[in-house]
Structure 1
Amino acid sequence: MRRRILRAVIAAVVCAVVLFCVPLAVATLRLYRQDEVRALQQLADRVAVTVPADVHHPRDPMELPRVGPGRQVGVYDDRARRVVGTGPEAGDRPVHDALAGRATSDRGDGRLVATVPVGSGERVRAAVRASAPADGPWRRALVTWAGLAALAVVAVGVAAVVGIRSSRRLAHPMEALAATAGRLEDGELSARAGVSGLPEADAVATALNRAAARIEELLRRERAFSADASHQLRTALTRVRLELESGLTEGDAAKQGPSTEAPTDPRGALRAALASLTAMETTIEDLLSLARDVPERAPLDIGALLADAERRWHGELAAAGRPLRVTVESPLPDAVGSARAGRQVLDVLLANALRHGAGTVTVTVRDAAGVPAVDVTDEGPGLPESVDVFARRHGYDGDTAGGGHGIGLALARSLVEAEGGRLRVSRRAPHPCFTWLVAGGRQTPAT
């Protein structure tokens, strides 16, 4: 690209120089010739003024002016014979034209000739002939052409310098864009093109940076979705496994011998497993829907959302000896958001209370200065002050298999903030409390 730009600049300047200098050179030569002829005519006119009435009178000799090297001036009588001065002895055609009453100029025998008649009307008594070498204008023109050539060389040199600098300035942004695109192709999604000062290249760089940021965000969301889906499905898979294993264990015990207890129907375990699989399918659909960029801004029925969460989590908490209490204050402010996101947020908070808390789990919905607020509290000892429970990491207690604090709460916070709400720890210890401020009719206050 640099070579092409340099060649284009130099070619344009050379064409401009040729189109300008060639006509100027021709015009200069013609001008110098005209100047030389005019000077000869003026010399002949000065001499004609001094020619006496009788050019042959011996008592009235003529004195001719001094002329420069190579120039000749002579006076011819009415018979075209040279009387005084220098020049051919017999008058040539310009002399005869002057004797006929016409002032002429001509070129012949390598000289420029100008003649003027002496006399007026029908009585021409003499003619003055002035001549100079014909190469005089050429020598002057050559000097001028040498100056034009020097200026042309300077112009081409300046054009070459400007072309080199311009080619660098134009090519560097394109090369930088190509390098950035290559880094992106190699997987370095953090690569960004810088500002070059060239509007066109900066426009391309801005578009490339937006595309790179978009791709990076899509990949980040894809990775986050994989981690979130893994976290959310792990509990459901564990529940299905336990229910199926429980059904198999009871079936094997029934085959080993009679029992005093009533036989357990294994179809109950299968039904529970199917319900868990249905919940897993719902979770996958929710996460796929929430992976999109545009949040859902629909009216949110918090009461129905809590009733569904109580139905799904009451049995599991009761099996662990953990009561679940749901309290809804009324009236509640209007809420907007996605029911899918709300369902996932409540699942994360209740699963966190089940794994890391103790005692009764209480869910309270209240009016927090015009904004619906959902508090999830348990009777556990609390959260360490030095741990950011919303950071994406393994559990702070080392429970990587169970997910622990971290990825689940990070998912919940990202879902809440995507819907315009806030999720925070309103009390760490004792009896930790997570507060979800739902987006309502006015902007949710920052915490």
Structure 2
Amino acid sequence: MRQRVVRVAVTAVLVALFLLAIPLALAIRSSLYADRRDSLERSALAAAVRVNPDYAAGDPVEMPPPGAGERLGLYDPALRLHAGSGPRSGDAAVRRSLDGVIAHVDSGGELVVAVPVSHDEKVIGVVRASSAVSAVRDDVLVGWAVLLAAAVLALAVGVFVARRQAHALAQPLEELSRHCQAVAAGDLASRAAPSTIAEIDQVARTHNDMLHNLSELLRHERNFTTNASHQLRTPLTGLQLTLEAGLAQDDDRLLRPVLEEALAGTRRLHRTVEEVLRLASAPRPRNQATPHRPVAELLEETDALWHGLFAQDGRRLECSVHDLPADLRVPGAAVAEILGVLLDNARMHGRGSVRVAVRDLEEAVAVDVTDEGVMGEEPARLFARGHTGGAASGTGIGLALARDLAIAVGGRLFLACADPTTFTLLVPVRKERRDMKRPNGDGEMQDGRDGPDR
């Protein structure tokens, strides 16, 4: 911004100088030439007054001393030089002046002024005054040099003022930028300081008001997260303990499966609450470990949980794992929640059979959830929070939550195909390398296992 302000100011000064200096330079030239012609005319008139009408009869002519750089000469009607200095024969200015007019002529590198000498209404001679054009040209160059020096001084003053003004304008904006960087780094208590510029102060006040409202909103959200954590975890823990106690005391074969299923459901609900609260809390450090689980085990649990629900609707659920390493692990809680959202979305908004397929992509794993429906919504709106499509009702939170969970574990969730509807989840994997069986010191075969490899 500083350079831009300086450039604008310098451009304005240059345009002003250009518009003023050129006419002024022409005016200086014209004025100096006019002044020299006036000086020559005054000298010629002063000499013409002193000419005696009887000079042709031999009376001496007393010519006044010429000015600096000037020549004065008296010519008779025959165009001969009678007194003073000048060309021996009268030139065009002298001939024109014999008609009784004052002549101004530029010829032969000289400025010439001829004044007629009259007696009894007759022209009896001509006084010629001349000066070299080079002398006037030197004066013009000196005037132009002074004008150029004034223009350079004006430009220097303009640059100095522009730099000062650029500093005055840019410094508050730079301070506001540093303040915004501090806020972006997490310092929500920082506030922009006032400056001497009203417009920038208005922006700073608006920014401070926005930051205050944002801080209050974040505080309310943190309080809600803390309250929800306390109010949800405690009842769930109590319910789990009650169900576990009931399982330990009740030997009824008919009631026991129901209690076991209810206990498994509360545990899943507890994991869901933990994952949602973790997502809503402050971002975790990147090096913080995330619990990983084998992909095959995760899909078995997903199939056991959702198979019966799809069967009740007369639909089929297939979970297939082809040629996946047994040591392939993914973030268990997050992937389980995302699969739950995608399968619930397929059950509510899709149709036909649903297939969950896992593909190994070396550094990542791709999980495709496909049903036989056709997605008519725009892909950009699918993951918008609060947007729900299809005939079935919904809150419009599921896909948005699933996308946030995928991003939280370094993955990505997107619509891979609209017909048939296919959602693809990409998540990073962790593999545990297992060595081939090798003989130990006693000649027996033993398994060797390396540490986990990200």
Bucket of the pairwise TM-score, normalised by the shorter protein? 0.5 to 0.7
Q: Distance in 2 between matches of 1:79 and 1:245?
A: 145
CA distance in structure 2 between the aligned counterparts of 1:120 and 1:13, rounded to whole angstroms: 60
Task: Give the partner amino acid of 1:223.
Answer: R
**8 Å Cα contact 1:21-1:148 kept in structure 2:** yes
Paired with 2:193 and 2:86, the residues of 1 have a C-alpha distance of: 81
Which position in structure 1 is the counterpart of 2:161?
162
The aligned amino acid for 2:55 is V
Aligned twin of 1:4: 4
* Percentage of identical aligned residues: 38
- After TM superposition, the structure 1 = structure 2 runs for residues 10-409 of structure 1, keeping only pairs within 5 Å, are 10-58=10-58, 60-119=59-118, 123-237=122-236, 239-241=238-240, 243-245=242-244, 247-248=246-247, 251-252=250-251
Structure number, greater radius of gyration: 1
Cα deviation 1:204-238 (Å, max 9, x = unaligned): 22222222222222211111111122233455345
Shift of 1:96: 0.6
- 1:281-311 residue CA offsets vs partner (Å, 9 max, x unmatched): xxxxxxxxxxxxxxxxxxxxxxxxxxxxxxx
> 2 CA distance for matches of 1:202 and 1:137?
59
- Kindly indicate whether the alpha-carbon contact (under 8 Å) linking 1:94 and 1:115 is maintained by their aligned counterparts in 2: yes
Once residues 99 and 160 of structure 2 are traced to their aligned partners in structure 1, the CA distance between those partners, rounded to angstroms, is 63
Query: Following TM superposition, by how much is the alpha carbon of 1:102 offset from its aligned partner in structure 2, in angstroms?
Result: 1.6
Q: Secondary structure at the match of 1:28?
A: helix
Q: Which residue of 2 aligns with 1:291?
A: none
Name the amino acid aligned to 1:23.
P
Distance 1:226 1:186 in 2: 22
Secondary structure of 2:54's partner?
Answer: coil
Instruction: Determine if contact 2:53/2:119 at 8 Å carries over to the other structure.
Output: no
The alpha carbon displacement at 1:99 in A equals 0.7
How many Å separate the matches in 2 of 1:125 and 1:40?
20
Shift of 1:48: 1.1
| Structure 2 residue identity aligned to 1:8 | V
Q: Residues of 1 paired with 2:166 and 2:234: CA distance?
A: 62
Q: Look up the SS of the partner of 1:204 in the other structure.
A: helix
**How far apart in 1 are the matches of 2:144 and 2:198?**
42
Query: TM-score normalized by structure 1?
Result: 0.54
Instruction: State the Cα distance separating 1:180 from its structure 2 match.
Output: 2.3
Q: CA deviation at 1:88?
A: 1.0
Corresponding residue SS for 2:56: coil
**Structure 2: 5+ residue runs without aligned partners?**
264-454
One-letter amino acid of the structure 1 residue matched with residue 51 of structure 2 = V
The Cα shift of 1:242 comes to 5.5
Aligned AA for 1:2? R
Secondary structure at the aligned position of 2:105 is classed as: strand
Shift of 1:55: 2.0
TM-score (norm 2): 0.53
User: Quick one: distance in 2 between partners of 1:37 and 1:121?
Assistant: 28
Deviations 1:383-403 (A, max 9, x none): xxxxxxxxxxxxxxxxxxxxx
Query: How far apart are 1:247 and its partner, in Å?
Result: 4.3
Q: Tell me by how many angstroms 1:140 deviates.
A: 1.9
Distance 1:5 1:120 in 2: 72
What is the alpha-carbon distance in structure 2 between the residues aligned to residue 126 and residue 74 of structure 1?
10
Query: Is this contact kept in 2: 1:55–1:77, CA < 8 A?
Result: no
Measured against aligned partners, the alpha-carbon deviations of 1:46-77 in whole angstroms (never above 9, x if no partner) come to: 1111111222222x311111123431111111
2:69 and 2:135 in contact (8 A); partners too = no
1:65 partner SS: coil
Q: In structure 2, what is the Cα distance between the partners aligned to 1:46 and 1:152?
A: 40
Q: How many residues align?
A: 264
AA of the residue aligned to 1:185: A
